[in-house]
Amino acid sequence: MVLKVFLFLFLSTELSVSAHRILILSPIATYSHTNFLKPMVEGLVERGHFVTYWNGLITKNQATESFNQTTNLRLLYSPEVHTISSATLVDFSVRKKPNNVIFGLPKRMKRYCKTIYRDPVFHQLMDSQEKYDLIILEAAINECCLPLVYKFDLPFIYIMGSMPLPWHLDAIGSPLAFDHYPQVSTAYADEMNFWQRTYNLVSGLGAIYYWRWIVMPVVDRLAAEMLHIENLPTIEAIERNYLNLLILNTNMGLNYQLATTPVVIQAGGINLRPPKQLPDDLETFVNSSGEAGCITVSFGTFIKNSALPDDARRLFMSTFARLSQCILWKWEDEKMMEHIESIPPNVKLMSWLPQADLLGHPKMRLFITHGGVNSIQEAVYHNVPLIVLPVLVDQPINAIKAVDDGYAIRLDWDNLTEEILFNAIEQILINASYAEKMEKVSELMRDQMETPLDRVIYWIEYVIRHRGAPHLRTSSRKLSLYQRFLLDVMLFFVLIGALAFYVLGRVFRHFNSKVQVQNFDLKKNN
């Protein structure tokens, strides 16, 4: 009995020593990025760490989720932040002016920062005397929270629910790889011609300096006006001094290859799991499809599916009416469902779909999607070929990569017709090569030394154990971009070459003139 008590006390002490206090900040969020972040939160809690999680989006079933019912997880919730995060939806017209998203960042950042700096949760954290070991920050437009990093004086980690943006790689000191890694504004593949590489370079550098010189000063100004923190550094300085790790929702089997440093961790697929049993009514509908199988249609959470233009909606409906497959379509507006004319009997509109579980059903034959990173990962994991209709940000690049790998067909919203859509569906269903290519890519995605979650947990704990792991950060983060590209070195060699060419030219002209004088003297003497 005494031995048992001793072992219990010993193990409890070990647990308390290894458990860390982690603050996770994601006030401005989208549902897709939250889905990427949540498994990490669950994993840290299950490891025994004490997690404080400021989540800007509360899901409908979050109050009853099992991982909330723990003593080592504290959820912070802000109604105003939830309102502003859930209002980040865009409509389909944004595809015609994709740069409006970038050019609208200063105004958007101003609205976000004002909301965060007025929020009681932010001030609760700012005034807190609690001690944390690490801060994890959602990287997509949450730079307003960086004064908290300075306040707690802690290393922090960026976690990004998609491919990295140029300013994230710049902040962590990772190679930018403009020669082969396409930027989100380009929609190029990794093999680019001269003009494409030129545009990729110019747009990537332009994005970094636009972020540094136009967007970040908005945060600096509002932080100075509203927080009144003595000697508060700039946001760029906080990043440079405290950022220690960048976690990305990418996978080397799915995304274009990016040469990175050890502080960039690829965790794509962290939220993937075997499918669960479908609800009874949904299972009945899917099974009613017989051998023809089922098709799932969803354009994600960032874009409202029910905001699809009327002509496009009618085009889809008339196309689906010609198919023998059953169609499940995510359609958020339940009231609108009652007024949509001529819904074919093989089409079922639902305000919410268990997308991953549907894609894992043996009856699923095709997924029609916008090309969001989570949607593509789920389709690849469950071996379901794709038709991709991208709208904005990284979706066009995701679509190009899927087409390059042979498991998808990309369609263009502006050139879409009923025949084009019908033929693409028939091509996927009839041509076995799409399923074969999908199987190969799925195998690549699954072939990893450890699970993405295990990888993320290891590196988070590694950063804590080694007090930020500064030995992993490259000194290039201290250099200007022209120095990182060795432009100063190349300019030096150009100047040296030009000087050498000038000197040699002068010497040649000097000796040449002497020879000419001697020849003239010889002729004169003769």
**pLDDT tens digits for 364-413?**
999 999 888 899 999 999 999 999 998 887 888 999 999 999 999 999 88
Nearest to 382 by CA among 311, 464, 442, 310: 442
Cα three-residue angle 413-415-420, rounded to 5 degrees:
95
Residue 406, classed as helix, strand or coil, is coil
- The model's pTM: 0.86
Nearest to 104 by CA among 85, 118, 92, 90: 90
Tell me if 173 is assigned to some domain.
yes
**511: containing domain:** 493-525
Tell me if 251 is assigned to some domain.
yes
Contacts of 37 (CB under 8 A, 6+ apart): 24, 26, 29, 138, 159, 161
Confidence at residue 96, expressed as pLDDT on a 0 to 100 scale: 64
| Shared-domain flag, residues 391 and 508 | no
| Shared-domain flag, residues 505 and 431 | no
Confidence at residue 95, expressed as pLDDT on a 0 to 100 scale: 63
| Shared-domain flag, residues 410 and 264 | no
| Shared-domain flag, residues 244 and 293 | no
Residue type, 261: T
| Shared-domain flag, residues 22 and 89 | yes
The CATH number linked to 304 is: 3.40.50.2000
Place of tokens 């490259």: 474
Q: How far is CA 399 from CA 282, 459, 486, 516, in A?
A: 29, 30, 33, 69
| Shared-domain flag, residues 61 and 26 | yes
Tell me if 4 is assigned to some domain.
no
| Shared-domain flag, residues 375 and 435 | yes
Confidence at residue 98, expressed as pLDDT on a 0 to 100 scale: 63
Helix, strand, coil distribution of the chain in percent, nearest 5? 55, 10, 35
Total length of the chain: 526
| Shared-domain flag, residues 256 and 374 | no
| Shared-domain flag, residues 387 and 476 | no
Tell me if 211 is assigned to some domain.
yes
Q: How far apart are CA 269 and CA 488, in angstroms?
A: 40
Confidence at residue 87, expressed as pLDDT on a 0 to 100 scale: 67
65: enclosing H helix or E strand = none
Paired tokens of 204? 């990537």
Confidence at residue 521, expressed as pLDDT on a 0 to 100 scale: 62
Q: What are phi and psi of 135, to 5 degrees?
A: -120, 135
Alpha helices in 27-176 (DSSP H): 31-46, 79-86, 99-103, 105-118, 120-126, 146-152, 166-172
Which of 446, 473, 507 is at the close of a domain?
446
Confidence at residue 338, expressed as pLDDT on a 0 to 100 scale: 60
| Shared-domain flag, residues 340 and 459 | no
Domain count, the chain: 3
Q: How far apart are CA 472 and CA 418, in angstroms?
A: 53
Longest dimension (CA), the chain: 124
| Shared-domain flag, residues 208 and 101 | yes
Which parts of the chain register pLDDT below 50?
Answer: 1-17, 63-64, 66
